[in-house]
Structures are given as C-alpha cells and as structure tokens.
Amino acid sequence: MRLIIIFFFFLISHQTYSQSFDEKFLFNKSIEKLVDLDFNFVKNNTSKHRDKPLLKNIYYLNEIIENSGYSKSFQFYNNNIDTISKGKRNKCLINLIKGYNELYYNIDNPSSFQYFFQAYTLSKETRNTSLIQLSLFAILKLYGEGIIQNNNKYKTYLNEFNTFVNTTNLKILSLAYEEKLLALSQLYGEETPTRVKEICNQLELLISKTGNKKVITIANYTLVNCYIKLKRIEQAKKIISGIIKTNNKSLFYEPFIFNSFIKLSFINYLQQDINKSFIYLDSAKKHKNQINSLKPDFIINSYLSEYYSSNKQDSAYYYLKKANQLQYKLNFLKSNEIITFSEVQNQTKETEKKFLKEQQENQLNQSLLFTTLIFLLLGIVIVFLILKNSKRKRLLAEQQKELEKQKNLTLLKEQEINTINAMVTGQEKERIRIAEDLHDNIGSVLATLKLHFENLKLNREKKHFNQDELYERTEKLIDETYLKVRSIAHAKNAGVIANQGLLVAVKIMAEKISAANQLKIEIIDFGLEQRLDTNTEITLFRIIQELTTNIIKHAEASEATINISQFNDALNIIIEDNGKGFDSNKIKVTTGMGLHSIQKRIEHLGGTFQIDSSFKSGTSIIMNIPT
C-alpha cells in the first residue's frame, strides 16, 4: 500500500514538473518570438493558455505592441492583465503593458517611461535576455518618438541593446532605431550624413536576408528616411509605393502606411505638385490612429498650413493655429514625461546602488559556489580515477587469466594437431609400405601363378606333367595370394590417389559402389584442373570415403551426390543424400571418433565443416578448404 501511495505521489509530482517545464519553455520561446516580431507565433501559442498569468500577460503585451495603439482601449488592458503573480518576470510584463498603454492611450498625463524603466530594472534582475531586449525596445521607442529629447542617455540604451544583437532581424531593428535617434539628435552635426549613408548601405544588404514581413517593412521605412536625407528621391518613392501596398490585415502596418502617405505628400509638395500633395494627405487621414489622434492631427495640420501658405490662401492661418494648439498639447505631454523621466532618474541612483550591492553579493556567492563546485568536482574526479584504476587492474587480471586459459587451449590444440599429423603421416607410411609389399610380394606370386597356368595349358595338350600335383600347387599359390591381399586390403586406393589424383580416385570409388545397384552416386566437378598437394588429396579422399561409408551404413539412401568445385584459392566439397536424415542439433560433433575426427582433419587443413540435416529430408555436408 505504501509503495502505491509513493508511486502516485511520484506520478503527480512528475506531471506537475512537466507542466511547469512546458510553461517555462513556452514563456521563453514566446518572449524570443516577440523580440523577433513574430506576433502570430505568440498569439497562436499563448491564446489557449490565458489561465496562466505569465502566458496571459505575454498574450496582451504581444497584442498591444502589434496593434500600435490602433485598437482596444486604455481601460481594456488595465482590466485584463493578470497582477496576481508576484514574480519578477510577471512584474516586468505588467510594467511593459502599462507603459505601452500610457504611451498609446493616456493622452492626458502619460508616464510611460516610469513603467518602461521599472520593466528594464526587473528584466536585469531576472537575467532573461529576451526580457531585457523588450525593455530596451520600449525605452528606445520613447526616444525615437521624440517624447524624451535632449538627452544623451539614449546612447547607453542603444549600445546595451547592440550587445544582444545576434540575428539579422535584431540588427535591422537596431539600425532603424539609430536612424530615428539620429534624426532627432542635435549632437552629431556634420557627421550625420556619413552615418546615414552607412546605415543605408547596411540595410540594403540585410533586407534580403530576412523573411519577416514586419521587419522588412521597418527596414524599408528606414531606407525611405535615408534616401530622402541623401536626396535619392526616386528610390524613396519606389519603396514608399511598396509600403502602401503592404497587406494591412495587421494593424502593425498602419503607422507605416500613414507616415508613407505623409512623406509622399511632402515629396510631391517639394516637386511643386500641390494637388497630389493634398490627395496623399487625404489618404493619410484614412490610416491615422483614431483612438489617439493628437500627433497625427498635428502632422496633417502642419502640412496643410504649409501647403496653403505656399499658395497664399487664407486657410493657411486656420491650419497653423490648429497645429499650434496640437503642438502645445504635445509639448505638455512631453514635459510631463520628461518630469517623470527626471524623477525616475533620481530614484534610479538609489536603485543602482542597491543593484550594485546585490550584484557584488551575488558575485561573491557565485565565487563561493564556484569554488565549492570545483573542489566537489575534483573529489568526484579523484574517486572516479581511483575506481577506474581499480576496475582496470581487475580487468587486466581477468584478461591475464583468460590469456593463460587461451594459451593452455592453444597448447592442447597444437598437441592434438601434432597427434593427428603423426597419425596421418604414420598411416601414409604404412600404406606406402603395403603398396611396396603388393608390388614385391603379390607381384611375384602372381607371376608364378601365370607360369603355372601356362604349364597347365601346355600339359593339357602334351601331358608332360602330373596334372593333379600342378593343380594343387596352383591352389596353394592362390590361397597364399588371397591371404596377402586380405592383409593389405584396407590400403587398396592409396596407389590410385598417388598416381591419378583425388577426382579420379573418387570417381572410381563411386563407380564400384554404384555397380552393386544399392546406392547410385553422381560425381559433379568444376574447376579442379590441377592436382593438389598429395597429403591433402589423401586426407580429403579418406574423409569422402568415410562419409560415403556412413551413407551406406546409416542413411538408407538410394541416391547421393558428391560435388567437388574449386574457386580461386578455395576448394568446396558438398556431399548430399536423399536418406532418412537426422536431427543435426542433437549431434555433438565434438564427441565420437567419426565426425569428430573428420572435423579435426578439416580444421587441420584450415577449412570449415558444416552439417545440414533434418528428418526425412536427407543430409548435406559442406566443407570449404583453402588450397
């Protein structure tokens, strides 16, 4: 019962861990994609997890950045963001959402920098690179929109952002922010055109390396600004036309389309085509932010005042007055933001001191932890080496023991081979002796018999000798010959092998066995054109002779085949019969005199010996011998 409870506890813990791991992975991946302006990925992967605070807030941050203040409302985001989770990552997301909410929707008293800077501080504490990038994005946007001006601090944020630039998309976004800030800064003087040209050249190279349409739009819009500053008007107009034709299903493109119409209107004004200037201004109005139209209205009225003024029309004064009123409101908002910025800067000094102290403490703790880990690692390495050395000694001892065993087995095998060699050599010597006996003894007896038969033939005609006595002598010679032949009958084939070779000897043997009409043996040969070594031929003939004898004695076969083939440096011998067969798995080749002796002789020749047999399916014996 206790084991079952532990198992269920482990299972629940594992599922909880897996879920938290998945949530953490999705959070990190979504933040990375948001930095990369891949809004669709974030939307698709977080919309179904809005029951989790972190993922819910990423969803709304993604939405407010993509929509650029063109949808929803100030109150909507304030009411829907999740403030329950108190973790630093969630607080960072909340501050970013509130900062963008102030920037886009609060036209009375914005304090976006305060929220963005707080998000930046929290992101540094979390050490999450993507959160730091998002926070720097937000602060640089305030500088780029001209809300915070006359402040060299933006260089610090831009330089820090550049330390994280490791992709084409991030490089394009960094260059786009730099171009915006150059346009607003009074600190660059005559160096500005040179840097603008460098930015232009870099963007022209980078734009072909990204497939993100939103990043491409940002790059194109930045190129338009660069081309206008470099007086490359026709190139600017061409790119503006492309931006205007952008698929604008996403509200992200609306500010770029609005500003593109404004620039196109102003270019036509410079080219003294006032009618087109008014037409493009009217087109721009269709794409202005209707929720927070303060800045778009100021821009439109400023241009209208300029256009009417150039034609000396009374309407110029009306639009100038309206533009001045809107500018006053804009300046008021900027002043509030700058005041907020100053307050935050003062608070930041204490925060930075606190952060520096915490950083030093963290570094000290990290150093102690690092030192401890080094000692621990060294201890583990030493123990590992000791165990490894002990294991190596044990393995060496086992290997030595195995080598001794193999050595003993080798000696036994060599002794066995020497015994077999001695036996074969002895047998052949004995057979040579028998052959000599046949030649010397039996040959002389047969010659004598021949004389006796000639005498018997002569005596039958002329009657010169005692015929009974001659028959008696002849019979004694025949008996003597029979006894001598019988004593050496087991060596009857040695001479054939020595004189005519293995194949001829096997064929003669097959013919004699087949003549009895009990077992028909077929000989098949291939490639055996040259004689083998005499000892090898004799050994192989004895093996084939013994296996054929086994077929006659045990197989109950009516047909057999002996296939002898030579391929390159190998001799293949296959002996098959159609007999009753046997279970080859139950036959121990390593025991007994017959098959065991054959196997040893084949191994002595450096070959292989294989038996394939089953009941009622005959037997096949395959031998491969190097030649």
pLDDT tens-digit series, residues 221-236: 999 989 988 889 899 9
| Three-class SS state of 193 | helix
- Residue that is last in its domain, among 131, 164, 197: 164
Rounded Cα gap, residues 625 and 569, in angstroms: 9
The verdict on residue 336 lying in a domain is no
The verdict on residue 175 lying in a domain is no
**How many residues make up the chain in this entry?**
627
Q: What is the CATH number of the domain that holds 586?
A: 3.30.565.10
The verdict on residue 588 lying in a domain is yes
Which helix (H) or strand (E) segment is 626 a member of?
Answer: strand 619-626
Q: What is the pLDDT of residue 141?
A: 87
Asked whether 289 and 254 are in contact (CB, 8 A), the reply is yes
- Count how many domains the chain has: 2
The verdict on residue 23 lying in a domain is yes
Residues with Cβ within 8 Å of residue 385, at least 6 apart in sequence: none
Region 429-456: mean pLDDT is 64
pLDDT tens-digit series, residues 200-259: 999 999 999 998 999 999 999 999 989 988 889 899 999 998 888 876 678 888 888 888
The verdict on residue 4 lying in a domain is yes
DSSP codes joined into one string, 100-113: HHHHHH--SS--HH
Structure token pair of residue 359: 């950083």
Q: What is the pLDDT of residue 7?
A: 45
Rounded Cα gap, residues 172 and 177, in angstroms: 9
> How would you write 211-230 as a 3-class SS string?
CCHHHHHHHHHHHHHHHHHC
pLDDT tens-digit series, residues 455-498: 677 766 665 556 677 677 677 777 777 776 765 654 454 444 55
The verdict on residue 30 lying in a domain is yes
Asked whether 169 and 215 are in contact (CB, 8 A), the reply is yes
| Three-class SS state of 625 | strand
Rounded Cα gap, residues 547 and 594, in angstroms: 9
Least confident of 24-28, 239-243, 522-526, 529-533: 529-533
Q: What is the pLDDT of residue 204?
A: 92
Asked whether 61 and 34 are in contact (CB, 8 A), the reply is yes
Which helix (H) or strand (E) segment is 613 a member of?
Answer: strand 608-613
Closest alpha carbon to 96 in 70, 58, 127, 51: 58
Rounded Cα gap, residues 44 and 33, in angstroms: 12
The verdict on residue 106 lying in a domain is yes
Amino acid (1-letter code) at residue 520: K
- Residue that is last in its domain, among 143, 164, 185: 164
The verdict on residue 551 lying in a domain is yes
Closest alpha carbon to 491 in 551, 549, 548, 431: 431
Asked whether 161 and 174 are in contact (CB, 8 A), the reply is yes
Asked whether 621 and 575 are in contact (CB, 8 A), the reply is yes
Asked whether 625 and 540 are in contact (CB, 8 A), the reply is yes
| Structural domain for 48, as ranges | 1-164
Rounded Cα gap, residues 59 and 43, in angstroms: 6
Q: What is the pLDDT of residue 337?
A: 43
Count of Cβ atoms closer than 10 Å to residue 375 Cβ = 10
Rounded Cα gap, residues 171 and 162, in angstroms: 8
- Residue that is last in its domain, among 100, 132, 164: 164
Which helix (H) or strand (E) segment is 565 a member of?
Answer: strand 559-567
Asked whether 529 and 496 are in contact (CB, 8 A), the reply is no
pLDDT tens-digit series, residues 156-186: 888 898 998 889 999 999 999 888 887 766 4
b/e per residue, 183-214, with b = 16+ CB within 10 A?
A: eebeeeeeeeeeebeebbeebeebbeebeeeb
Residues with Cβ within 8 Å of residue 324, at least 6 apart in sequence: none
